[in-house]
Amino acid sequence: MAGTVRTAVVGASGYIGVETLRLLHRHPGVTLIAITSERYAEKAVGEAFPALAGLFPGLVFRKLDPAALAEVELVFLALPHKESMEVVPDLRKAGKRVVDLSADYRLHDWRAYEEWYGVPHTSKELLAEAVYGLPELHRDAIMTAGLVAVPGCYPTGAILALAPLLAHRLIDEQGIIVDAKTGISGAGRKPDLPYPFPEANEGVTPYGVPRHRHLPEMEQELSALAGIPLAVSFVPHLTPMTRGILTTAYAPLHGPAEQAALLDLYREYYRGAPFVRVSAALPSTRNVLASNYCDVSVRVDPRTRRVIALSAIDNLVKGGAGQGVQDMNLMCGSEETLGLEGAPVFP
Ligand SMILES: NC(=O)c1ccc[n+]([C@@H]2O[C@H](COP(=O)([O-])OP(=O)(O)OC[C@H]3O[C@@H](n4cnc5c(N)ncnc54)[C@H](OP(=O)(O)O)[C@@H]3O)[C@@H](O)[C@H]2O)c1
């Protein structure tokens, strides 16, 4: 990377925004020149977030004003869906490259967006240029993109668990079931807590059954891999942990499959994907915490002739901010791993 990229984080006071700050702090290719928050406008970073005290000298939250981002080259948007598409058109007109962490540009078909998100899509003209920011599938397109839509957290885990099976036509495409467990930070840092501690702790709760908003995104990408339209059954669960998503996906096999051969096929598929760690060992959210890794494994169940594919990610890193930084690295012609080399936190 020649010089550093002048960057802003919009929506920097949410969980994804703060995680983006944490990752950019140690990124050698970035100069962070602007951060926005309505709630903390005019406060210094350390004042609003004592965890980051002293790490961003002189940086102060400002209210969002696209006109105030004139000096910025690349903008991370960590806003709720619907808010992103209010600002992306102006940013693109001003020539800014955009890494959008919301759902606004992930679906190629605006009709699907309107059906699943229940609001009009007001920026349809930019959907054709938006690239789905999963580097393991779309690395080349991301490198030249002006607008990258960072995948949702659940789709990241599900797609990376299933991609090799679909790409090699090994499973019945219409028989896929995805079960996932998330930490509570997946719901964001709303002023009114959506899940108060006494109601979220010591329990596991399914939600969004059978129509969670991440389904059309999973189906868009898995269908492209399969080469035919497919539908997925998906059940997410809220679990009493702060970060992490464990995904367990089940699918009927077309024919007999050897466990060792499947693992080799996964290793080959993800050769050159620095953040996917394929292993015979079953993944755990514990082993990827605060890192950009996605741990993947696959097991054959000969009794039921099904395959079980599993993945673990940190929803705020590979499921969000880390993947956004990985996309930025590719967009800027930098090493894909730059600033993301940190080991997971253990225990
Ligand atoms: N949480 C996850 O695991 C995860 C993973 C992947 C993707 N995402 C996506 O990333 C985005 C951010 O998620 P999050 O979990 O960080 O949400 P969050 O904690 O609720 O943060 C939302 C951010 O947006 C700002 N904001 C909200 N409404 C705004 C408005 N009208 N104008 C300007 N700023 C506004 C908030 O700022 P103030 O309140 O300070 O004004 C805050 O900084 C969402 O689209 C989400 O779907 C989340």
pLDDT tens, 122-180? 999 999 999 999 999 999 999 999 999 999 999 999 999 999 999 999 999 999 999 99
Strand-pair category, 131-132 with 147-149: parallel
* pLDDT tens-digit map of 213-247: 999 999 999 999 999 999 999 999 999 999 999 99
Q: How far apart (Å, rounded) are the C-alpha atoms in residues 279 and 289?
A: 17
Cα 283 off chain centre by: 18
What is the per-residue pLDDT for 195?
Answer: 81
Q: Is 102 in the pocket of ligand 1 (CB under 6 A)?
A: yes
Q: What is the average pLDDT across 108-120?
A: 98
- Identify the structural domains of the chain with CATH numbers, from first to last: 5-129 (3.40.50.720), 153-315 (3.30.360.10)
Q: How far apart (Å, rounded) are the C-alpha atoms in residues 281 and 52?
A: 35
What is the per-residue pLDDT for 191?
Answer: 73
What are the residues facing 36 on neighbouring strands? 10, 62
Q: Is 74 in the pocket of ligand 1 (CB under 6 A)?
A: no
Specify the residue with its C-alpha closest to ligand 1, atom 6. 320
Q: How far apart (Å, rounded) are the C-alpha atoms in residues 63 and 264?
A: 50
Question: Chain-wide mean pLDDT for the chain?
Answer: 96
Q: What is the average pLDDT across 59-64?
A: 97
Residue 177 tokens read as: 């079931």
Specify the residue with its C-alpha closest to ligand 1, atom 14. 188
79 Cα: distance to centroid of ligand 1 (angstroms) = 4
CB 135 within 8 A of CB 219: no
Q: What is the DSSP string of 170-217?
A: -B-GGG-EEEEEE-GGGG---SS-SS-HHHHTT--EE-S-S--TTHHH
CB 151 within 8 A of CB 217: yes
Q: How far apart (Å, rounded) are the C-alpha atoms in residues 274 and 211?
A: 32
Residue 339 tokens read as: 């600033």
Q: What is the average pLDDT across 284-307?
A: 98
Q: Is 81 in the pocket of ligand 1 (CB under 6 A)?
A: yes
What is the per-residue pLDDT for 194?
Answer: 74
Point out the residues that are catalytic: 153
Q: What is the average pLDDT across 29-56?
A: 97
pLDDT band, very low/low/confident/very high, at 326 (cuts 50, 70, 90): very high
135 Cα: distance to centroid of ligand 1 (angstroms) = 22
11 Cα: distance to centroid of ligand 1 (angstroms) = 6
Q: How far apart (Å, rounded) are the C-alpha atoms in residues 327 and 324?
A: 5
- The DSSP H or E segment spanning 97 is strand 97-100
- Closest C-alpha among 243, 273, 258 to residue 160: 273
- The DSSP H or E segment spanning 32 is strand 30-36
What is the per-residue pLDDT for 77?
Answer: 98
**Residue 16 vs residues 77, 252, 287, 289, 323: alpha-carbon distances, Å:** 9, 36, 20, 15, 11
Cβ neighbors of 273 (< 8 A, separation 6 or more) are: 135, 136
Q: What is the average pLDDT across 285-309?
A: 98
Cα 160 off chain centre by: 11
Report the share of the chain in percent with pLDDT over 70. 99
What is the per-residue pLDDT for 193?
Answer: 73
What is the per-residue pLDDT for 218?
Answer: 98
State the closest ligand 1 atom to the C-alpha of 186, by its place in the atom list counted from 1: 3
301 Cα: distance to centroid of ligand 1 (angstroms) = 40
What is the per-residue pLDDT for 199?
Answer: 87
CB 323 within 8 A of CB 8: no
Q: Is 37 in the pocket of ligand 1 (CB under 6 A)?
A: yes
Q: Is 322 in the pocket of ligand 1 (CB under 6 A)?
A: no
The Cβ of residue 224 has, within 10 Å, a number of other Cβ atoms equal to: 17
CB 296 within 8 A of CB 141: no
State the closest ligand 1 atom to the C-alpha of 37, by its place in the atom list counted from 1: 40
Determine the number of helices (DSSP H) and then strands (DSSP E) in the chain. 10, 14
pLDDT band, very low/low/confident/very high, at 1 (cuts 50, 70, 90): very low
157 Cα: distance to centroid of ligand 1 (angstroms) = 20
pLDDT band, very low/low/confident/very high, at 330 (cuts 50, 70, 90): very high
Q: What is the average pLDDT across 288-297?
A: 98
**Residue 264 vs residues 74, 106, 135, 170: alpha-carbon distances, Å:** 38, 31, 21, 14
What is the per-residue pLDDT for 90?
Answer: 96
Q: How far apart (Å, rounded) are the C-alpha atoms in residues 81 and 114?
A: 12
CB 134 within 8 A of CB 115: no
Q: How far apart (Å, rounded) are the C-alpha atoms in residues 77 and 149?
A: 10
3-state secondary structure of 179: strand
